[in-house]
Amino acid sequence: MTGSRHVTSYAPRFALVAAVSILFFLGGCSSAKRPEAKASTPVAASPSPVYVHMNGHNMFLENIVAVAPGQPVVFVNEDTGMHMVLGYNPLTGKVNPKFSGSLMGTPGRGHPVSTYQIRFTKPGVYYYFCPVHAELKKAPGNVYVPIKRPGVHGFPVPMAGVVIVTTEKALIADDPPSSHRKILPGYFGG
Ligand SMILES: [Cu+2]
């Protein structure tokens, strides 16, 4: 298309009418393609979702994921019990009501699963925890960290995670393979 535009710019003024109309036509093609190229940018910026899974182990399987701005993050509950996702600021301990979802349990494989989807438009690091299975506690250094709620079974780690929103493609490429699949057939539990 650049070529035809080049020809258009330098075409002699007295070019044949036919040639002009051909160039016009080519010009039309070129300008028709340009918005298409622009329109592909948002598509590239919001590719398929990144999935974060839960099961009976009361943790987020992919507890650190990186996504592009606008790319959906989908939390998927494959546990029989319910979980919640709640964003927080580690510097203040304040929770973020805009990053908040409840996910009902599922009886298991073949049954519907509860999901919660969110998109972040601004690059940054977004912290979250499940307030059912973890709680925020002030830690040395005046930061708030999620700790495992007393009595919660599962792994010793608290049920919490981080979403990194970045334009750095290498970080996004490091996401675990399981984060590309909505349902992990072997991961139902609880
Ligand atoms: Cu939970």
Question: DSSP for 81-130?
Answer: S-EEEEEE-TTT--EEEEEEEEE----STTS--EEEEEE--S-EEEEEE-
Residues 61 and 145 occupy one common structural domain: yes
| pLDDT above 60: residue 155 | yes
The alpha carbons of the chain give a radius of gyration, in whole angstroms, of 25
Task: Let me know the angle formed at the C-alpha of 143 by 87 and 137, rounded to the nearest 5 degrees.
Answer: 70
39 and 57 inside one domain: no
Q: Which amino acid is at 94?
A: K
On whether both 114 and 161 belong to a single domain, the answer is yes
What's the CA-to-centroid distance between 183 and ligand 1, angstroms? 18
- Expressed in angstroms and rounded, the spacing between residue 132 Cα and the centre of ligand 1 is 5
Pair 118, 69: CB distance under 8 Å: no
Q: Are residues 113 and 179 in the same domain?
A: yes
In terms of residue numbers, what domain contains 60?
50-187
Kindly give the distance from the C-alpha atom of residue 57 to the centroid of ligand 1, in angstroms, as a whole number: 9
Same domain, residue pair 8 and 58: no
Q: Which residues contact 96 (CB under 8 A, 6 or more apart)?
A: 86, 87, 88, 89
Mean pLDDT across the chain, nearest whole number?
83
Whole-number Å distance, alpha carbon 159 to ligand 1 midpoint, is: 6
Q: Are residues 72 and 111 in the same domain?
A: yes
Instruction: Say whether both 20 and 97 belong to one domain.
Output: no
Residue 171 pLDDT > 60, yes or no?
yes
Distance (Å, whole) CA 70 – CA 49: 10
Ligand 1 centroid, distance to 58 Cα (angstroms) = 5
pLDDT at position 41 is: 44
Is the domain of 60 the same as that of 146? yes
Q: What is the pLDDT of residue 154?
A: 83
Let me know: does 125 contact 162? Beta carbons within 8 Å.
yes
CATH at 111: 2.60.40.420
Give yes or no: residues 98 and 41 share one domain: no
pTM of the predicted model as reported, rounded to 2 decimal places: 0.76
Instruction: Tell me, yes or no, whether 77 and 151 share the same domain.
Output: yes
Domain count, the chain: 2
Beta bridge partners of 77: 54, 114
Q: Is 90 found in the same domain as 168?
A: yes
Look at the block and give the residue holding tokens 């109309």. Answer: 21
Q: Is 78 found in the same domain as 170?
A: yes
Residue 76 alpha carbon to ligand 1 centre in Å: 12
More confident: 43 or 187: 187
Q: What angle do CA 27, 29, 35 make, to 5 degrees?
A: 105
Which pLDDT belongs to residue 60? 98
pLDDT of residue 25: 38
